[in-house]
Amino acid sequence: MNRAVLFWTSIVSSSFFVLSLKFYDVFHFIDWKPLGWSKRYHVFEESPGLLRWIVLFLIIFIFSLLLYYLAKWAKKAKPAIMSLIVGLIIALLIEWMIQRPNELGEYFKDFSIPFGVLVLITTRFIVETAIFNSVKPFSDPK
């Protein structure tokens, strides 16, 4: 396994995800705060915002490493379909944990489409890279 590809993929995807979340927060594309986890779980509440963004980056980095490893095992699956299914599941679970809705209709009404698209783009990048690098190239027929 090429560990450099694994780490660079995770670093780039985590950076893109965190910077996009900051962009979404500044321009109010999402109704919730990306750093709201620190108040909800009473961790790093009084810490500066930069430290909380770094911790969020590290959490997303670890999840992207795990997703990369899981995607390498499914090299027979089509990357587009797999990333779509996995990305939708991840986006729905994260939004469910953030909103904690009482009813299913309320949940889908308040679902953040820009956040779902961000998760799908990032998942597609990680899954495509993992599957591309796990498949062995064809040998030279000479």
Q: Provide the 8-state DSSP code for 64.
A: H
| Amino acid at the residue 49 | G
Residue 56 pLDDT: 94
Residue 13 pLDDT: 98
pLDDT in tens, the chain (142 residues): 688 999 999 999 999 999 999 999 999 999 888 988 888 888 888 889 899 999 999 999 999 999 999 998 887 888 899 999 999 999 999 988 888 777 777 777 888 999 999 999 999 999 999 999 887 776 555 5
Residue 45 pLDDT: 85
Residue 130 pLDDT: 93
Residue 60 pLDDT: 97
Tokens 């694994």 sit at which residue? Answer: 6
Tokens encoding 91: 């986006």
Residue 43 pLDDT: 86
Residue 141 pLDDT: 56
C-alpha span between 50 and 64 (Å, rounded):
21
Contact (CB, 8 A) for 102 and 12: no
- The domain ranges of the chain are 3-134
Half-sphere CA count of 77, side-chain side, radius 13 A: 16
Residue 136 pLDDT: 74
